[in-house]
Amino acid sequence: MIAIFYKLNDHIETSDNTEILKNISLEDVLWIDLFDPTGEEKRSVEHFLDTNLQSRAQAEEIESSSRYSETHDTIFINTDFLIPGPENYTMESVSFILKGDTITSIRQVPLRSFTDIQRRIVANPRIYPTGYHILIGILDNRIDLDADMIELMSKEVAQYSKRVSLGEDVGQEFLLDINQLQENTMMVRENIVDKQRMLSSILKSEKSPDSVTNKLNILLKDVASLINHTNFSFERLEYLQNTVLGLINLEQNNIMKIFTLVSVLLIPPTLIASIFGMNIQLPLFGGYWDIVLLGGLMLVVVFVVLYIFRRKRML
């Protein structure tokens, strides 16, 4: 699928047919958005731009030279957009090509940031005079969505912390939930750092127009604050995880303490019962009161051991 935004008589027109590219110049095209494009659509855009489009494999590479590169007239950008799921998040690679004032985007999944900017261009095209302004608008919208995700994760962290403070049952499932939230936080941070690197590269580029410099600086400040927030959330999660592990260890220690106490209390009576259970003559009369005396002796030993434990503050 392709969406072409081009200028015609001081108006912005849209088209989903690559044939329009044969009748307009590069200067007239504002944005070419390729969403899960076909091979024919890719070839048409490559011919129109006189350059090669990035493949999905190239877009997913993590080297700095692959994420951002420039030629004498073109800027190539690869970045990731975070897609939240019911439990975990996924990364989707998106490629941008800036040639002159025209931007070309290549993506495989629907993204809210793109849909919002397309509606704004149709509603008010004056605020997006060049492809750079469109790219900044997409990133601005994406950063706002990332900020919303970070806010939701912060609320989840606060809820987990409250559960621990209230003394609710925390076990393996609770630890797994914390671990999943840590994974999501790391993915959000990785995504935001990637945006920071890309914004910095655009700001340093000589091809970047002065009209977007102030907006780029504002976005970089927003990204820096989000990175600090994700760092704090991750540290809070790590502290919460350590607290839960400490509580679980205390609970296990108490259980082992009970088992140890029971074992120690039963050792003396067991020893007495073993001695008097031997098939030899022992210094008692062999009557009914022998059982009573042995039982009483066992109870006395148990209470003596309990007294010693309490005196030593081991209970």
pLDDT tens for the chain, residues 1 to 315:
888 887 777 777 777 777 777 777 777 788 888 888 788 888 887 777 777 777 666 656 655 556 778 788 888 888 888 777 666 777 788 888 888 888 888 888 888 888 888 888 888 878 888 888 888 888 888 888 888 888 887 787 777 777 777 766 666 777 777 777 777 778 888 888 888 888 888 888 787 778 888 888 888 888 888 888 888 877 777 777 777 777 777 777 777 877 777 777 777 777 767 766 666 555 555 556 666 676 777 777 777 777 777 776 665
DSSP structure class, residue 28 = G
In 205-288, alpha helices (H): 213-276
76 vs 105: CA distance, rounded Å: 10
CB 37 within 8 A of CB 107: no
Neighbours of 134 (CB within 10 A): 27
d(CA 53, CA 147): 31
Rg (CA), the chain: 35
Residue 82 phi/psi, 5-degree rounding, is: -85, 130
CA torsion sign, 233 to 239 to 243 to 245? positive
Closest to 184 in 3D by CA, of 153, 225, 142:
153
- C-alpha closest to that of 147 among 173, 113, 124: 113
Taken in order of first residue, the domains within the chain and their CATH numbers are 2-248 (3.30.460.20), 252-311 (1.20.58)
Rounded to whole angstroms, what are the CA distances from 292 to 186, 274, 276, 284, 287? 68, 16, 13, 12, 10
Residue 288 main-chain phi, psi, to 5 deg: -65, -35
